[in-house]
Structure formats: structure tokens, C-alpha cells
Amino acid sequence: MVGVAICLGLALAGVQGAPSVPAGEPGGKGLAVRCAKALVCDEEGTVIDRAWILVRDGEIEAVGPHGELEVPPDYAILDVSDRWVMPGLIDLHSHRGGTLQDINSPVYQANPGLRVHNAVVPGNPALEVGVAGGVTTVLFIPGSATTIGGQGILLKTSAPDFEAMRVRDPGSLKLAQADNPKRWGYGMNRIMLNWHIRETLRRGVAYAERWRAFEEGRGEEPDTDPQWEVFRDLVARRTQISAHTQVYQVIYATLRIVREEMGLDVYIDHGTFDGFLAAELATELDVSAIIGPRSISAQNKGRGIDHDGKIVGVAAEYQRRGHPMIGFNTDSPIVPQAELALQAAMGVRYGFDDADMGTLRGLTTVPAQTAGIWDQVGSLEAGKDADFLVCPGHPADPRNAVELVFIEGRKVYDAEEGQTF
């Protein structure tokens, strides 16, 4: 009996002495990734040929070329020296964080107090499939059945539990204009919607201003109202409004009402049809254009849209007008979550000039900066989450399957164990 106990004790001690935490993860030893190309996706769009990427405790420790960057001797080595490594892709328009049927509650016309975080289902198959497409961060947002559908949440696509998935909550306040919220009821047309959006935002901002006054020692403590709480984050620039807005006239209203009048951070989260006609104004007001799920615009009689019969690429048209912050989204499930990179490919097909890899920027840097999570994700820079993917070439080419995906240093997808996309 004693002998057995000792054996057990030794076995336990053995386990504790050499913890089986894989390299790169928090608590594990360091991981050095050797690759053909490191697409850093920093502000400058740096590309390092034959690079090392050092990962420790779930974070990027350093990135540098062979021969220059020293790899500490105890680091585990992942040799993908004929592959590209780039930051995980970010999708700022997804409805696939959890149960699809629970994210549209059109009881009232505007619902700034609703939160989709209640609908998150960690490890749900639709999101897991997204990982296989290299998507590591999504903005899971409510549907567009009402002008303000509620608060979205920024999530990592693969993590053990809800807490680990959460990047930021609220991830955004979802605003929807024109077509979809018009269906809410009789008489809900664009002028009504715009009045209503303005009215709601004004009340929300006023609420936040009362709180700010109190916090700065001016005025009484206001009552807490969950319906308006999100505006305190908005006014303090801790979150943004993600706007379901497309068609020139509608985007124009978004820019004027939300950005100019209310002074809130907002980004275009469709921007399609002839929305690019507002590209110059969006540039001037520093509003990003995250484009999708549509990629092209053709003659549309019902909307009075005609580009002289041409079929034009939406991203290309923003680019042609000098818009500097063009990203891509899927509106998953409209386009499956895993096909985010294909959205960029379609941008290129229809005229987007990818000479400086603007597509990669639009899948990583632009959405990270737009959503205010640039300090955490979106590039392979020291101190950021080690969210990266390994791919045989440009991920926009459907023929290049993503082979490995890491989130915070943890391997979450390996095509060799079963290629799911």
C-alpha cells in the first residue's frame, strides 16, 4: 500500500515538475516560428523574408529576419520555412458568434441596451469553421431588424470558454439604416429612420454627458439606465458604432448624423451599392469602410443605381477615391465565416489594386485599428496577442488552404489533423 502511494506521489510530482503546457502558450516555454515570409501587417506594411517569429506566454515577443534575430536556445521550433505567416484575420461583421436566431429582437424600434453576448456559444461549429479560414477575431453583432439592434461583442473565434473568447464587450453598438429596419413596421421609411436614429443617439449622448459631468465633479449622480449605459463607452471612445449602411444617400446620412452631429466613432460596415460615392467625405471624417458581403455594384433599377452599365468593384471604387481605410467583412452567414479572405480576393478581381498588399491590410490592420483593438491584435508586433496563421501563399487565393492557426499562442487549427476548409 505504501509503495503504491509513493509511486503515485512520484508520478504526480513528475507531472508538476514538467508541465505539459505547449510551447508558446501562457506558462509554457517559448516558441520560435521559422517562415519564408512574415507579413507583419504593421503601420508600414512590413514584410520580412526568411523570418523568425518568437512567441512566449501567448504573446508575440519579437519578429525579425534569420541571422539577425537571436532565438533563445530553449525555444521549441516550428519550422514552416516554405510558408507565409501573417496575423489572424479580423471580421468586423459576423452573426456567427452563437445562436443565429437570438440576435434580432425587434420589439422596440431602437435597442441600445440589448447585448448579443447572451447569445455567444463558444466552440460553435460555424465559428470553428471560420478558424480554418484563418479568422481569429470577429465582431459578433445583432441583426438589422431595428435601427439600433443592440451591442455587439468582439470575440476570439476559438477559446476554451466565454471569458477567454471575449476581446471587448461592448464590441460596438450596431446601427442599421434604410432597407432592413424599414420592415419593422408601417411608415418606417428613410426620413423616419433618420429622425429616429438622431433622436436615440441624442438621448444616449445626453445620458453619457450627465455621467461625465458627475464624474468631473459637476452635477448630481444620475440614475443608472441599462438602456443608455453603452453611450458612456461611446462618448469616452471606448467603443464604436458599427453601421449597417449602404447606398450613397444612406452613408451620407451616417456620416453627417453619427460622426459630425454626434461626434461618435463610427465605421461603415457594408458600404456597398454606390456607397463609394461618399468615400471622399468618409475619408475627410476619418471613417473606415469595412466592405461586404457584396463586392460588386451593377445596374440596379429599383435603387436608381447605374454605373453606365459597368459592373464595378466596391473596394476598388473606394480605393480610386483615395479612401485609406478599406477593410472586408463577410456578414456571416451571408458569406460563410471561413471565406473572409475570399472577400478580399473578390475586391481584387473587380479592380482593387493589391500591389502593396492592401488586401492583407484590409483583413488585419484596418479592422483592428477601426475597432480600437490595435494594441492587442492585427499585426505581428511585439506585445500583441500571438494570433497568427500559416499559409502556403496569399490567403486570398482560394487554392491556398490555411494550414495552421494559433490564437494567443495556442494551436487551434491544424489542417494535418483534418482539413475543414
Residues within the interface to other proteins (CB under 8 A): 125, 129, 272-273, 293-300, 308-314, 316, 333-336, 339, 342-343, 345-346, 348-351, 396-401, 419-421
Minimum CB distance to other proteins smaller for 242 or for 337: 337
* Contact partners, residue 112, CB within 8 Å, separation at least 6: 148, 150, 151, 173, 200, 204, 227, 228, 230, 231
Q: Measured from the CB of residue 12, what is the shortest distance to other proteins in angstroms?
A: 34
Minimum CB distance to other proteins smaller for 208 or for 279: 279
Q: Measured from the CB of residue 229, what is the shortest distance to other proteins in angstroms?
A: 29
Going by the DSSP 8-state scheme, the letter that residue 328 receives in this structure is E
Minimum CB distance to other proteins smaller for 200 or for 332: 332
Q: What are phi and psi of 154, to 5 degrees?
A: -90, 125
Angle at CA of residue 141, ends 136 and 142, nearest 5°: 155
- Buried b or exposed e, range 141-160, using 16+ CB within 10 angstroms: bbbbbbbbbbbbbbbbbbbe
Q: Measured from the CB of residue 254, what is the shortest distance to other proteins in angstroms?
A: 18
Q: What are phi and psi of 205, to 5 degrees?
A: -65, -40
**Residues paired with residue 404 on neighbouring β-strands, in sequence order:** 390, 414
Minimum CB distance to other proteins smaller for 170 or for 313: 313
Q: Measured from the CB of residue 398, what is the shortest distance to other proteins in angstroms?
A: 4
Q: How many other CB atoms are found less than 10 A from the CB of residue 1?
A: 5
Q: Measured from the CB of residue 218, what is the shortest distance to other proteins in angstroms?
A: 46
When computed from its CA atoms, the radius of gyration of the chain, rounded to whole angstroms, is 23
Q: Measured from the CB of residue 340, what is the shortest distance to other proteins in angstroms?
A: 11
Minimum CB distance to other proteins smaller for 25 or for 128: 128
- Among the listed residues 168, 95, 101, the one whose alpha carbon sits nearest the alpha carbon of residue 329: 95
Minimum CB distance to other proteins smaller for 221 or for 417: 417
Going by the DSSP 8-state scheme, the letter that residue 26 receives in this structure is T
- Among the listed residues 284, 290, 293, 261, the one whose alpha carbon sits nearest the alpha carbon of residue 370: 290
Minimum CB distance to other proteins smaller for 230 or for 335: 335
SS (H, E, C) 43-108: CCCCEEEEEEEEEECCEEEEEEECCCCCCCCCCEEEEEEEEEEEECEEEEEECCCECHHHCCCCCC
Q: Measured from the CB of residue 319, what is the shortest distance to other proteins in angstroms?
A: 12
Minimum CB distance to other proteins smaller for 71 or for 401: 401
Q: Measured from the CB of residue 293, what is the shortest distance to other proteins in angstroms?
A: 6
